[in-house]
Each structure stands twice: as structure tokens, then as C-alpha cells.
Structure 1
Amino acid sequence: MAQLASALAIMIMGVLGCAAYFYGSNFLLDKLFPTKNRPYEQIARNLRTANMVRPWLFLGPAVLLLTFYLFYPVIDSFRLSFFDRTGDGFVGLSNYVWLFGSDEFFESFRNNMLWLIVVPTAATFFGLIIATMTDRIWWGNIAKSLIFMPMAISFIGASVIWKFIYDFRSGDDAQIGLLNAIVVFFGGEPQNWITIPFWNNFFLMIILVWIQTGFAMVILSAALRGIPDETIEAAVLDGANGVQIFFKIMVPQIWGTIAVVWTTITILVLKVFDIVLAMTNGQWDTQVLANQMFDWMFRGGGDFGRGAVVAIVIMVLVIPIMIWNIKRANAEMEGR
């Protein structure tokens, strides 16, 4: 109860603080650039100045916080990548030499690439198929709600749920894992699924696909509803069947949205960490870059230099996709 009370108090203080900042900053701005009982030229000049300053009063705190929490860590991580495990001794490019000679890094990189191929493609594909199908049934909104529900679950919470699905009991113990219970029911042998090399990566990917399909479905469903009915009706009159309408009429018209959804999920996949940590902790050949960075940075005494190098690699991989995604989103907004 004490923690809940503390959290509630902080929320109330935050809301009141924002309100006080809003009214206080506007009050000071009106005092600095008054418009009452002033010559017309001064009123016009003060209005122009106030209108130029006012947006920055609200953007300023956000920009400062983003600079502190995003820009500064990037610069400091780049600096730390040239230092030793304590972050005090300069070692030059030694950490980069270690990185590209590390089998553990290449295992993590390979697994990340596998996640990049499978998860965005599967989540976008299933989201598109479900969005199309649920628009054609009367209980489509109920189905969408159920499919979107995993988005409300944290990655750790989702991992705990799927741990019960993949659970394995040795010997004659009853199998409480859903997947093994099904296997045993049909006469098969139960398996410790998340310890099977290579395939265990796919079992972990299923969790993220399960979560992200709802996101893809909602965005693509909105895009599908934006397709003019006249286009579909014309295709039907020309004798096109459902498959032809889907692939030759609907998909080309929402291709830009599909690309944005795919790249958004791709950026998320590059930073995947929680699921691997909770399910396997990187064991059994499931290590990914973010988990490797965490291990080097915070475990076993920590190595700030090597952890920072892995962080830089993740950032370098994310930036091009993020830039393309922003450009594509802007183009969509401008109707190009």
C-alpha cells in the first residue's frame, strides 16, 4: 500500500507540476510581451514574438529530457567503447578488435538476423491476413480485441505465460506444459523445447509474433478501410476473385503502410532483450545482441568497454531502418 500511495502521490505531483508550468510560463510570457494598452506596432511585434516563443516553452522540457536520456547516453557509450572494463583506462580500438573476433558476438548477431527475418515478416503477414478476415465477419471487432490483447502484456509477462506452454517435466511427472501435454496426448515424447539448439530460437520468436500481430492488425485494418470501395467494386465487375483482389488491388494500395509496420517491428526486434532474458538467459545458443550487452555491462563485475561496443553495434543497425521509417511515414502523411 505504501508503494501504491507513493506512486499515486508522484502522479498527482507530476500532473499538478505540468499544470503549474503551463499556466506559469504563459503568464510570464504575457507579462514579458504585453498586448494591452500598447501601440498597434508594439502589439503586433509582441504577438509575433510570443507566438514564436510559446511552442518552445512546451517543447523545451521534452527536448532537454530527450537530450539527457537519449543523446547523452549515445555519446557516453561511444566514449566508453574506447576504454577498459572500468571505464577509466583508454584502450583504443581493442574492444572493437575483440568484438569482431568473438564467437559469442557472431552467435548473437546471427540470432538477431534470424529474428529480423522471421518476426517482422510473420507478424506483418498474420496481422494483414487477420485484418482482412475480421473486416468480413460480424464479430470482427471482438476477434480484433482478443488478438490485440497481448499488446497490453509486458514482454516479461508474456514470457512467463509461454514458459508454462513450453514447460517440461522429466521422468514420470505429469506434463503441465500445454505443448507437451498435447504431444503426450497424441502418444509422443515430451521435449524440453527451449533447450533444443536452433529451433529454440523459433519458439522464442513465436512469443514476439504473438504480441506484435495485434499491433500490425490494427494499423493495417485502418489502412484497408481507407481503400476506396469503387476500386473493389470495379475489380469484382471485371471478374476478379477474392485472392486476386487481395494481392493485386488491396495490397498494392496499402504497401506503404505495410512497409512502415514491418520496419517498426524490425526496430523492436533489433532491441529484443526481455524475452530471451526471461526464457533462456541466452543459454542453448539463443543469445542476442541486447542480452549480450547486458551481460557484459552489468554481470560478472561488468565490462563497460565491451558492453558499450555491443550497444554501438545495436545503434548502428537501428539508425538506418529508423531513418527510412521516418521518411516513409512522412511521405505517407504527405500523400506521396
Structure 2
Amino acid sequence: MSTTSSTPPVGEEVPEAPDTGGVPEAVGPADAGLQPVKLLIGVVGIAVTIWLMLNLFLAFAYYPQWFFDSKILMGVLGLVVGVGGAAGLFWFLNMTIEALPRRLEHGVMPYAFLLPGFSLIGLMLLFPTLQTIHYSFANRTSTAYVDPIWANFASLFRSSDFWSAMFNNLLWIAIVPAITVALGVVVAVLADKLSAGSEKWSKSFIFMPMAISFVAASAIWLTTVYGYNPPGSPQTAALNAIWVNWFGGEPQSWLDIDTARLNSLLLMVILIWLQTGFAMVLLSSAIKGVPEDTIEAARIDGASEWQIFWQVVIPQIWGTIVTVFITVLILVMKVFDIVYVLTNGRNDTDVIANMFFREMFTNRDAGRATALIVVLLVAIIPILIYQVRDFRKQEAMR
């Protein structure tokens, strides 16, 4: 009986097996080709899930009687359907991706799972932005375009109130981010010199104002620092108590004094107080990330602590400083609560956001109000572009 040998003839090369990295090769036609039925089920499931969720949330707004006008019931249903619907949506999305050919599945998967998030960003951010730009060319009721089309912007640029508010915004931009970052750096460096326990408590104390809303912080400062009582009455607020009892002056309504924009400067102090803790936390983390060997090398070379701080530490945390500065800067450009609560723009303290609120909800002029927001948006865009470029530069250096 003859047998077939698996040994190759003499002189013939043996082909090498492909390297699969230790992972067995997938076999079977389903692994390589399109699965139409599974793909159809996934796509239909996604569409039905979105349709059901959308209609339910619209029903909450337009037909609350279906839910017995119960906000608790609508809240519970919204939570259950929102979480369950999101899980179902991702399940059908995963099914759709798995039904694709293997060569497409791995390339499509990351983008497919980012799609819901980007869709929500587009729905909640991009669409309202485009709609706001559209309404900025409309009349006060947003029912027709103004004539000429740029009339709302021309009206703003001719208004002295607009330029006063713009000047105040620039003043906030020039002062608040710089002082906030400077204080954050100083506090972070000093806290880093303390023992672990003292550092923890001091940082917690300084960060605590971040837990307070802008409205509450404004009320606290008005009551405890800037408050005014008539002459002859006890001065319970700190600023007037010091002014009257220590310097013998008359009590002042500090937030009404617009000389040298004093009232605006006093409003800025509140925001600096609120944001210093935020700056301190980020900058403290960056300082702790500075390699100790670079500091020791500078000490060996005879550098003083001051030289080490400016020439070794600051360059290595510069990226974090820029990030914190820009974050506070964007916040300052939108400042509203503090001004609205304490002065409502009186005595030359108005800012763009407060002016928008007044135009929109007091004067009922949606055209001018949205034009103000477009001006603010145009002012913020270059800052965002710079932040993105700086972030990419920092990433490229790592």
C-alpha cells in the first residue's frame, strides 16, 4: 500500500506561514462579507429608537395631560426612556457595524460611536448658533428681515450704550484673567511649600468659592462687603465699616461710584475671588508635574529660588497657564450674573451679556439682542482658534 508523504521534494522551498500575531485567522463566509438582514435590523432599530425617544420628549412639552400633568412622572419616564433608549441605540448601532464587511467594520466603528455625540453637539450647539445668526438680520419679532439687512448691527454700532458695554467687556478681559492666573500661580507655589495636611486644607478653603453660584456670591459680597447704610446707621458691610470707623469718612454707595470705573473694578473682584481656586488647582497640578531633577540641576548651578521659579518652573507650566488664562477669558467675555444682580448695568457698569438680556426680555427686540450675541460670538472665535492651535502645539511637543 502506497502512502503520500508530506515532505517536499529536495531543493523545493517551503512557503512560510503568514504571521497572524498569535491570533487564529477568522474563517467562514459571514466573517468577510456583508450581512444584509442584520444590517437592515440595525438600521431600522436605530430609526425606530430615535423616533420613539423624540416623540416621547415632544409629548412631554405639548401633551402633558397624557401624563396627568405630573412632572414627577414625566421626569421618571424621561430618565428611564433616556437611559434605556441610549442603550438600545448603541446596541442597534453595534449590530449595524457588525453587519458590515470585515474590512469596513474596524474602520467605521470609532466614527460610528462618535456619531451620536456629534449629532447632539450639532443639535444643541451648531443649529442654535446658525439660527441666532439668522435672527440677527430679522426685525424685533423675528418675522421678517430688516431693511437694510445689516440694520440691527448698524443700530448697535451707532449706540453709545453699546460702546460703553464693549469698553467694560474689554476692561474685564484686561484685568480679571491676568489677576486670576497670577493669584492662582502664587497660591499654588505657596501651597506646594506646606506640609501635606496643611496644603490640603488651604487648597480646600481657597477652592470653596467655586461651589457658590455667581448670584449667591454677588449677594454675599453685597451684604458683607459693599453694602450701604445711611449716615448715622451702623455700617455692617466691611468696606463702609473700614471707611467710616477707621478713616472718618461718610458711608458710600460703592457700586454707584463710576469714577475711574471703580464700581466695575469692585464687581471684578467677585469674579476673581470665585475663579482663583479653579486656577490654583490646575496650576498646582502642573507645578507638581515639573521634574524634580531640573530644579535640583538649577540649584547645583547656583540659581536662586526666584530664578528657579521664573527660568525653570514657569516655562514648564506655560501651557497650563495659557489654558487657564483662555478659559477664564472666555468666561469673562460672557459675564452676566454679577453685573445683573448688583447693578443691572447702572452707572456705566453694563456689559454685552447684560445688554443682550435687557434687549431680549425688557425691550422685546429679538433682532438687536441676537445681533449682540453675534458680535460676542465673533469676538470669541479668534480666542478659540488660538486655544486649539496652542493645544495642538503642546501635544506635538510631548
| TM class, shorter-length | 0.7 to 0.9
For 1:162-311, what aligned pairs fall within 5 Å after superposition?
A: 162-164=221-223, 165-189=225-249, 190-197=251-258, 198-300=261-363, 302-311=364-373
Matched, 1:93 2:150: yes
Residue 71 of structure 1: aligned partner: 126
Shift, 1:47, TM fit: 8.1
1:147 aligns with 2:206: yes
Q: Distance in 2 between matches of 1:19 and 1:80?
A: 34
Change (3 A) 1:229 1:50: closer
**How far, CA to CA, are the matches of 1:34 and 1:254 in structure 2?**
45
- How many Å separate the matches in 2 of 1:8 and 1:178? 48
- Give the TM-score taking structure 2 as reference length: 0.75
Q: Secondary structure at the match of 1:235?
A: helix
> What displacement does 1:13 show?
4.9
Deviation string 1:65-114 (CA, Å, 9 cap, x unpaired) is: 32222212221222222222122232212112111111001000000000
**SS in structure 2 at match of 1:188:** coil
Q: Which residue of 1 aligns with 2:186?
A: 129
Contact 1:33 1:46 in 2 (8 A): no
Higher relative contact order, chain-length normalized (CA < 8 Å, sep 6+): 1
Task: Report what 2:376 is aligned to.
Answer: 314
The SS at the match of 1:120 is helix
Deviation digits for residues 278-308 of structure 1, max 9, x if unmatched? 11000010000111111111113x1111111
> Does residue 1:25 correspond to 2:89, yes or no?
yes
CA distance in 2, matches of 1:7, 1:208: 36
Mark the CA change 1:85 to 1:240 in structure 2 (over 3 Å): closer, same or farther: same
Partner of 1:324 in structure 2?
386
Give unpaired runs (5+ residues) of structure 1. Answer: 36-41
Find the aligned partners of 2:122 and 2:98 in 1 and give their Cα distance: 32
Aligned-pair CA distance for 1:161: 0.9
Q: Which residue of 2 aligns with 1:119?
A: 176
Greater CA drift, 94-103 or 19-28: 19-28
- SS of residue paired to 2:143: coil
Q: What do residues 26-80 of structure 1 show as CA deviations (whole Å, max 9, x unaligned)?
A: 4434554668xxxxxx8xx3585277246534x3443333222221222122222
Note the C-alpha offset of 1:185: 2.9
The worse-fitting range, judged by mean Cα deviation, of 46-55 and 86-95 is: 46-55
Distance in 2 between residues matched to 1:273 and 1:236, nearest whole Å: 47
Amino acid at match of 1:194: L
Distance in 2, matches of 1:227 and 1:305, equals 51
Please tell me whether the aligned partners of residues 272 and 290 of structure 1 are also in contact (alpha carbons under 8 angstroms).
Answer: yes
* 8 Å Cα contact 2:218/2:270 also seen in 1: yes
Give the TM-score, by structure 1 length.
Answer: 0.88
Cα distance in structure 1, aligned partners of 2:346 and 2:297: 55
Q: Find the structure with the greater CA-based Rg.
A: 2
**Amino acid of the residue matched to residue 216 of structure 1?**
A
Task: Name the residue aligned to 1:62.
Answer: 117
Calculate the aligned-residue CA RMSD, in Å: 2.3
State the identity %. 38
1:2-41 correspondence to structure 2 within 5 Å: 10=75, 13=77, 16-29=80-93, 31-32=95-96
- Return the alpha-carbon distance in structure 2 between the equivalents of residues 8 and 225 of structure 1: 49
| Alignment coverage as a number of residue pairs | 321
